[in-house]
Chains A and B, each alone.
Chain A
Amino acid sequence: MEGRIIILGEHREGRLKKTSWEAIGLGRKLSAELGKEVCLALVGSEIDGLAREVSGRSGLEVVVLSNDYCRHYTPEAYCEALAEFAGTEHPYLVLLGHTYQTMDFAPRLAAMLDRGLIPNCVDYRCEAGQLVWVRQVFNGKLNLEVSPKGEPPCLVSLQQGAFPASEEDLGAPPQVVRRRIGVAEGALRRKLLEVMEAVQTRVDLSQAEIIVAGGRGLGSKEKFQLILDLAEALGAGVGASRPVTDGGWLPKEHQIGSSGQTVTPRLYIACGISGAIQHLVGMSNSGCIVAINKDPYAPIFQVADYGIVGDVFQVVPKLIEIAREIRS
């Protein structure tokens, strides 16, 4: 069974993450294109039910890697389990979603295997039987084409939402393979103490019809008032990109993006937001996106329906004025 494509699935509370279904979708596509077999590996304990369900839906063989230390995620237990598995399996490619968990363990796993990791890929092409991956660099202003060098496997993580998820339920007979992986307790130095959900957020932007969001371009807490004023004039919710909540201009619960809320309003007005990938994943499925930014090359314009290249301090006050006129 040498040279398979292995998808590393990520699960939480008995469910496979959406990004892993996206990896399954791409894994099956690549399997057909390259004539390689594909399987899914899950690390954990007491996840047989999940493994059977995923195998049945996806039609893939699911390999469950477990040991006594895999009940909760820790990078060392995961890396030990996966390195041992990869060492016996000799995969062609290891695919995974680009999540915070992936960022935590995959570089270490790649180093243990002495292989490369190409992270956060948004596209690929096949060139003379070799996969060339496309990833965003320089704050999303440029794309870079990267290919693995040396012996397989290469590890490749996929940007969340960049590839269509495998959604069809194949109703296949589940094929689950269980493998015990030996991990010496001494190898596990990092211990999980607790998982904390942030305080139940009082700012739920998921139901907002209109969101006005501000970013680094606002410059200070005082100047951010402009965003609050526009939101009020439009009867909109208030969102922010990371630099705003990092700087304490607005509480963290207003943050939109991978570490905050994911929103899909009918109208999203992004003011002074450059459009870091982490922000775009939280808002790019909004109905209509308006971007106002002084930098014409800001990546936010790549996802915008309407764009104004200009100074937010000039444009937004005018918008407030007009919105108030309309409302009165």
Chain B
Amino acid sequence: MRILTCLKQVPERDSRYKLNQDGSGILEEDLVFETNESDLYALEESLRLREAFGGEVAALSLGPDRVSKVLRNALAMGADRAIHLKDEAFERGDARGTAQAIAAAIGPDAFDLVLTGVQSEDMAYAQTGAVLAQVLGWPCATIVMEIAYEAETRGIQVKRELESNVFERVELPLPAVLTIQSGSHPIRYATLRGIMQAKKKEYRVLTAKDLGLSPETVGEVAAKVRHHRLLVPEKKKQTVMIEGGAEDAARTLMDKLVNEIGVI
């Protein structure tokens, strides 16, 4: 089975954000970036499918130089090769632009499955996978928890998460796009051996020109939405922040819960 796994690089979860002067973006200088968590689950599922059925796993990421960290890590975890879509023309695109670039990189008949995470932790549009499926003309299942492949029919059955502890099982033919929910299987760590082997694996950098894409079809120009500014959210509640060391804070809190709120 030939699988493409799409991974996005996002700021670390505990990041503190500073806005630029006009509020149109964040300052990247002090940020540390990591791989989007649900994309790592997608990679884990991809590696498991390859281990069970053979084939290859290619890891793809779109972004500036810094995303090589995501791809090197994917190679170290076990991906066979890396595709880095790197071009100023791709920047600030929406899901459609990103999907166009990925679809162009896929080309004809190269993969049976594309796996990616349910959503990114930074912009959280939760669209790239499903839009990519539409661009490719492939079927898609989102929010997938389990994948079962049937070699005879060349179809897959997946378990999808619905809301409130309800699930559904659906069947779809290959090639297909799946977006993977967190929690499917524990994410493996890169081993020292994996890190050493990663250095010898294929790492391709592709620009818009390499993919035959004109800049007007990807990136900010092609986006169907316009980003205005970022804002620090207003608090919904008047939060009483309890100061002091652990012991004092704990005493103050318990005192309020017992005497003021009366819930304990």
- Which residues of chain A have C-beta atoms less than 8 A from B141's C-beta? 104, 190
A309 at the interface (CB under 8 A from B): yes
In A205-233, which residues have CB < 8 Å from any B CB? Answer: 209-210
Q: Are B242 and A306 in contact (CB under 8 A)?
A: yes
Contact A306 B165, CB 8 Å, known A107-B127, A246-B183, A318-B247: no
Complex: A301 Cα to B232 Cα, angstroms: 13
Q: Considering only CB atoms, which chain B residue lies closest to A295 in the complex?
A: B14
* A190: contacting residue among B171, B223, B242, CB under 8 A: B171
Closest approach, in angstroms, between the C-beta of A187 and any C-beta of chain B?
Answer: 10
Complex: A310 Cα to B242 Cα, angstroms: 10
Q: Considering only CB atoms, which chain B residue lies closest to A79 in the complex?
A: B134
Complex: A247 Cα to B186 Cα, angstroms: 7
B43 at the interface (CB under 8 A from A): no
- Which residues of chain B have C-beta atoms less than 8 A from A195's C-beta? 162, 166-168
Q: Are A117 and B254 in contact (CB under 8 A)?
A: no
* A111: contacting residue among B13, B14, B131, B166, CB under 8 A: B131
Which of these binds chain A: B55-63, B106-114, B117-125, B191-199?
B117-125
Q: Are A119 and B227 in contact (CB under 8 A)?
A: no
Q: Are B254 and A326 in contact (CB under 8 A)?
A: yes
Which of these binds chain B: A43-51, A52-60, A134-142?
A134-142
Find the residue from A99, A114, A191, A274 having the highest chain B CB count within 10 A: A191
Complex: A196 Cα to B160 Cα, angstroms: 10
Closest approach, in angstroms, between the C-beta of B223 and any C-beta of chain A?
Answer: 6
Complex: A206 Cα to B14 Cα, angstroms: 30
Query: 0/1 per residue, B65-101, Cβ < 8 Å to A?
Result: 0000000000000000000000000000011100100
B21 at the interface (CB under 8 A from A): no
* B131: contacting residue among A110, A146, A247, CB under 8 A: A110
Q: Are B140 and A108 in contact (CB under 8 A)?
A: yes
Which of these binds chain B: A25-33, A61-69, A85-93, A255-263?
A255-263
B153 at the interface (CB under 8 A from A): no
Q: Are B229 and A310 in contact (CB under 8 A)?
A: no
Complex: A107 Cα to B99 Cα, angstroms: 11
Residues of A contacting B: mostly: mixed
B15 at the interface (CB under 8 A from A): yes
Complex: A138 Cα to B25 Cα, angstroms: 12
List the count of A-B residue pairs having beta carbons below 8 Å apart.
263
Complex: A272 Cα to B148 Cα, angstroms: 35
Q: Are A245 and B135 in contact (CB under 8 A)?
A: no
A242 at the interface (CB under 8 A from B): yes
Closest approach, in angstroms, between the C-beta of A267 and any C-beta of chain B?
Answer: 4
Which of these binds chain B: A1-9, A147-155, A171-179?
A147-155
* A139: contacting residue among B13, B169, B172, CB under 8 A: B13
Q: Are B264 and A234 in contact (CB under 8 A)?
A: yes
Closest approach, in angstroms, between the C-beta of B198 and any C-beta of chain A?
Answer: 26
- Which residues of chain A have C-beta atoms less than 8 A from B163's C-beta? 99-100, 258-259
Query: 0/1 per residue, B118-162, Cβ < 8 Å to A?
Result: 110111111101110111000111110000000000000100111
Complex: A295 Cα to B140 Cα, angstroms: 37
Complex: A297 Cα to B127 Cα, angstroms: 27
A314 at the interface (CB under 8 A from B): yes
B228 at the interface (CB under 8 A from A): yes
Q: Considering only CB atoms, which chain B residue lies closest to A199 in the complex?
A: B165
* A140: contacting residue among B26, B133, B233, CB under 8 A: B233
Closest approach, in angstroms, between the C-beta of A284 and any C-beta of chain B?
Answer: 8
- Which residues of chain A have C-beta atoms less than 8 A from B96's C-beta? 111, 116
A34 at the interface (CB under 8 A from B): no
Q: Considering only CB atoms, which chain B residue lies closest to A160 in the complex?
A: B163
- Which residues of chain B have C-beta atoms less than 8 A from A290's C-beta? 253, 257
Contact A144 B230, CB 8 Å, known A149-B223, A274-B13: yes
Complex: A69 Cα to B242 Cα, angstroms: 57
Query: 0/1 per residue, B163-204, Cβ < 8 Å to A?
Result: 111111111110000000011001000000000000000000
Query: 0/1 per residue, A114-125, Cβ < 8 Å to B?
Result: 111111100000
Contact A326 B258, CB 8 Å, known A138-B17, A149-B225: yes
Q: Are A100 and B143 in contact (CB under 8 A)?
A: yes
A interface, CB within 8 angstroms of B = 74-76, 99-101, 103-105, 107-108, 110-112, 114-120, 132, 134-150, 154, 189-198, 201, 209-210, 234, 242-243, 245-248, 252-253, 258-262, 266-267, 274, 277, 284, 287-291, 295, 297, 299, 301-311, 314-315, 318-319, 321-323, 326
B interface, CB within 8 angstroms of A = 11, 13-17, 19, 26, 94-96, 99, 118-119, 121-127, 129-131, 133-135, 139-143, 157, 160-173, 182-183, 186, 223-233, 235-237, 239-242, 246-247, 249-251, 253-254, 256-258, 261, 263-264
